[in-house]
Structure 1
Amino acid sequence: MTHLPALSQQRAELEKVWARWAAGTRQLPAIVTPNVPVPTLREEVVESWERSLRTVDPARAVAPATDRDELGARWADSPLRTPVTELAGEIRAIAEDAGMIAVVTDDEGTVLFSCGDRSVRRRAETVNLAPGGCWDEPYMGTSGVALSLHTGRPSSVWAAEHLVEALHGWVCYCAPIRAADGRQLGVLDLSTYWDRSHPMILSTVRALVTAIESRLHTEQSRPVARTRLECLGVPRLFKQGRQIAMRPRQVEILTLLALEPEGFTPERLHAAVYGDRSVSPSTLKADVSRLRRATDGRIADRRYMLTDPVACDATELLAALEAGDLATAVRLYRGPLLPDSDIPGIVQWREHLDVGLRTAVLADRNPEHALRFGQRCPDDIEIHEHALRLLAPGDSRRALVAARLHTALRA
């Protein structure tokens, strides 16, 4: 790594070059610091600056934001969601150990996922390098994300190579993520402060992208789930896009099988469904048999488990929590797991999901999560108080939260 004094001098010289461009004078400064080489602007950076200056003000302070509902839909529909979620623990560990933030965008430069060092994330949020931020070149000018999207190659952008001055304290290392057919699906970015730059970081980004693509290509070769179960709030089952009716007991058993893909022994499933009630094993066999017919025979015989994938909002929420993707978890939460069910297995899973999500919301500093979760939990006094603490004094939504809190206190 370059010694910090020399790195600081190079950054200062690069700032002079940037200032000329930002002012419309596209030439090197006439006076330079002795013994400090004048930075040579890379051709791809110059070309990006020229394109960006048509639409981007270098004085811009923050990236534009995507609508929250649109962001949720983008992440839910993204083919990157499953592989990134599965590798989130590894990505987070690398980013936190290195004092960096990891970001995944879609093919339009919208941030879908982020994790990493807490202090770095807080600073990144001030420029909206966070879920929902738009980082394609027409929005935020020259950056690693923008270059990777434009060139289709791994890229790094350091300090004042960023067109937007608010980003001059950063360095970012990015690489595109591709589908098996070569389509560019998005970008993985590792960013940190300019004085922590190191060429090996780009190798780490490439390795993480390789791991994501490996899982992505495996996932794309698997059978697509033709059945979708929604069991958070009002339960609904869809087969090939059409909603079908099912008995409550069938929905309960299917939910348990979806949440525990390793399956159940007959004895354990009996306990999860009937508890201590005196119910014969033949009753469970009959209930499973009816469910098997409803799911076109997708339940194994000896060990009760799903033999074909069933998409399920509860399992997606659980995966989001495990990945630290709170925005997705809150969006998926339409209410408690099968709220009218009292069977032991569902009650246990309901408490597990509710406690996990509620704890994550209370530990988070984003008021959007507390607002949305509070909408689904109108009696939760602590959640409403948490939202009030997070909302700025002039935020008009404080009135809504205050009304929710007042109602909850009177209940």
Structure 2
Amino acid sequence: MHDAAVAGETPPAPPRPVIGASWSRMLSRGVDPERGGTARPLRADQLAERRRASPLAEVLPLLRGRLGDVAEQTANIMVITDADGHVLWRDGSSAVRRNADALGFVEGMSWGEDAVGTNAIGTALVTGLPVQVYSAEHYVRSHHAWTCASAPMRDPRTGRLLGAVDLSGPAATVSPTTLALVQTVAQLAESQLHTSHLAALEALRGSAVPILARVSGPAVVTDPHGWVAASSGTAPVGHVALPAECGAGRAWLPSLGDCAVEPVPGGWLVRLLDEDPDAALDERTRVRLDLRSSQARVEVSSASGDWSHPLSPRHAELLFLLAVHPGGRTAAQLAADVFGDERRTVTVRAEMSRLRRNLGGLLSRRPYRFGDTVEVAVLRPDDPAALLPHSTARAVRG
């Protein structure tokens, strides 16, 4: 069947629909059945960045705990990829890992269909469904000695595809129960992410209630993805459809209408304006970066009230640099500012990601900067030498 399909002939019998559809995609894209597509592995820093940014890092212990031993005992390897098919983590039988190395089935390499043809990982990511691929069902002949079973995983907050988990090994290890096992573990991982999401919403609810108590009129507090932690003066709603690039200011939101959106710690305050469409709206958010003591703080003042957040030395350093560069800084520029090495972008992005968990509504990206509606004032100590005394960055000390 495979030989006929790759030759453009009619197979003696049709393959399974999921395999036949994938083979057709490979033929239409000109993927070489001998060598696959062309793909380069991620650099070490790119791999580290993708691992850090992946929500699947949170469920890595669960995936390893449920599938790692199984992979070892059944002469398989467990592989976790991102949504593009790049291998982020790999565990299991050392002998099988060596065989996988010869195929380029290694951390950082793409295992999407365009890179290696029909395979469980790439095909599961394309279809969004669990898939098991056995021997010559693989499009590229060098993979015919393998069997693999993979299931996609999605972010329960957004429905966004996060990646896939896979068990792969020699074709002789094929089992009809493997796909069910992989699918069950993928569902457990999604369930853990959902539980974490609910815990984060509950934590946000603790700070949302006093915020809403200061607001006159109907309002809701949401997390960064629009999930509602608390509401006041309006019918209960579970989710608000926020703009893709949400920012402070006036916005029309489905189901709510005309609204004022303001940043709060860990999310957004959304005030409904339909009842008074002519109400004046102060879209400005005022930020004071207080660096006058050893405990730096960011103090925020908006139409709905005031709040503050303590800063670590590194976060105080980064916010100071953004304040003195209102046009913004790229990750490479911040790396050069802080470390004197523009290659340390992975560390910078990790710290900025942590900052955005609490201050996301104040900060914009590409480049990193304070939002357009944010007014920033820096409160410095009287003695210039006391400004961020922990910092060794020339951009600060200079």
TM-score by length of 2: 0.49
Higher strand share: 2
Higher helix share: 1
